[in-house]
A and B are shown apart, each in its own frame.
Chain A
């Protein structure tokens, strides 16, 4: 599970390319320009780093190393990157993710691009910060099945990690450092230069975009904004009976039964399968679902209703989704 230099995050690669360009293109003398730690995509707000976890190159590098490290799992076999793979926009291809000893979880792994902007994490929204989210997979029986103090003990035996932790945070790799470093790295996973962002769309994609933003589909009522989500908790009629009670699990309010956080649709072309349980295999399955109006459920949003889209329109919408 070691990281190869090739698998640097896309944004960092972009960043390095632009930094090189800067070096080459600059003719003036003076101190060599320092590469920025991350690049905020055009039109995106500046991501907010908490005061106790401001970014630095050391912190991001340590976080990335820990994100790739199997030392976080009890069996020393699974890393964050086992379920959040860069080539799938930091999601995976499993229906539900597989953790230690082949244990299957109950949910599909989402993309981690632009998590810096999410107001809360997990599909019921119970985790307020990225730092706190790191503690979830470590303890989850179906993920790392471990304890953060034991992760600390293991990392403390690794002098290169200890040195990196001292450089980054001035303290050994304790729970504070483990959670801060990984969260710091995650905040740099920014993505905002898709063809849709650059408005570099084919005519089919253009038509798809018009449909996506129209009141005929209402897609942007839930998937609006620069991240293609309002972060609301909604029921999109995926089923009439859910094994997973969604936000109800957290709030115990019947109005929240089977409501899930609206996911971002960035890179949705590579994050199959779809929905909280990975039950829809392809984007066309997703579109067929919306076109049918979904299943009856007491919490289903009134926006989810039969759309009557033609085959051509479905093709166009799918093409547009792939450009996000």
Chain B
């Protein structure tokens, strides 16, 4: 049976009093656009609901990461740099640590000033701070782009004619973010899940025309402030929208249903001709998209507990 669960996401917080001290710690960022999952090259409405918006790439650095746990102990990860890329999986293994009860996670968006101006070419290939393609470094300032967001906007989905690139950098825009994530270890694992409501990145930023801002000021500065103040929250507090829809009734009206994995990969669609697209689906977290000609698609995030 398919079950839609209300208070979703992961954090199966029912702690099985973790006795082992060493646990495998993972950190997941779930990109969202409001209630819908954030999927690159997907059409959304802007915050002001006046335009369509299609993110084409979003990457940012996380640094000076630390976890507060087990009654205020702090485990820092001083050499950990994560390049979050929302066109790829955004789940990270942080290794095995004596962490059983997480209280919060702290990170900064960008690269700390001590490392920000060092030479990217000295890092091993594939290190997040080594040269990237497209580049996450701005040569003449000798500094990393903290966040690079590229998107298209337009009044109708067939003519997304405005191009926006906000590439934000600058030591003064390096902000610290702490997200309270109460979660306990379970079966030797601790999963710290954070929701990033990326719709908020553009709050106060006008993307109704093309905007090209590669800098440390104006919309670039604001985007990093938004990231620090408005975007991140613990996944436990999130609930999915009421998903008790009837697949058959929806299809009878001419609607389509598709299922995506958390990285945006299409698992299957009702146009494949299957009786129910949920049949035989493996347990896990998915995105269900209901679409119908002439309507904005409706996204639902849900946990599937298998047959």
Contact = CB atoms under 8 A, between A and B. Distances in A.
A298 B38 CA distance: 48
B119 A132 contact: yes
B119 A179 contact: yes
A139 B135 CA distance: 8
Interface string A170-210: 00001110111000000000000000000000000000000
Interface string B100-139: 0000000000000000010111100100001111110111
B131 to A, nearest CB: 5
A135 B141 contact: no
Interface stretch (A1-9, A143-151, A310-318): A143-151
Interface in A126-173: 126-129, 131-133, 135-140, 147-150
B22 interface: no
B120 A135 contact: yes
15 contacts: A122-B140, A126-B142, A128-B142, A131-B119, A132-B121, A133-B139, A135-B121, A135-B137, A136-B139, A139-B139, A148-B121, A149-B131, A175-B120, A175-B130, A179-B119
Given A147-B133, A147-B135, A149-B131, A126 B121 contact: no
Given A129-B119, A135-B120, A148-B131, A250 B141 contact: yes
B130 A252 contact: no
B135 A131 contact: no
A131 B121 contact: yes
Interface in A258-275: none
B135 A140 contact: no
Contacts of B122: 52, 176
B216 interface: yes
Interface residues of A, number: 28
Interface in A105-135: 122, 124, 126-129, 131-133, 135
A133 B140 CA distance: 7
Chain B contact residues, majority secondary structure: loop
B217 A252 contact: yes
Contacts of A250: 141
How big is the B interface, by class?
A: 20 to 34
A180 B121 CA distance: 9
Most chain B Cβ neighbours within 10 Å, of A131, A136, A137? A136
A127 B139 contact: yes
A178 B119 CA distance: 13
A127 B125 contact: no
A175 B121 contact: yes
A42 B32 CA distance: 65
B117 A135 contact: no
B277 to A, nearest CB: 40
Contact of B117 (A128, A137, A180): A128
A147 B119 contact: no
Given A131-B119, A174-B125, 4 more contacts: A132-B121, A137-B139, A147-B134, A148-B131
Contacts of B125: 174
A52 B217 CA distance: 35
A52 B119 CA distance: 12
Contacts of B121: 131-132, 135, 148, 174-176, 178-180
B85 to A, nearest CB: 15
A251 to B, nearest CB: 10
- List 4 tightest A-B contacts by C-beta distance, closest first: A136-B139, A175-B121, A149-B133, A147-B133
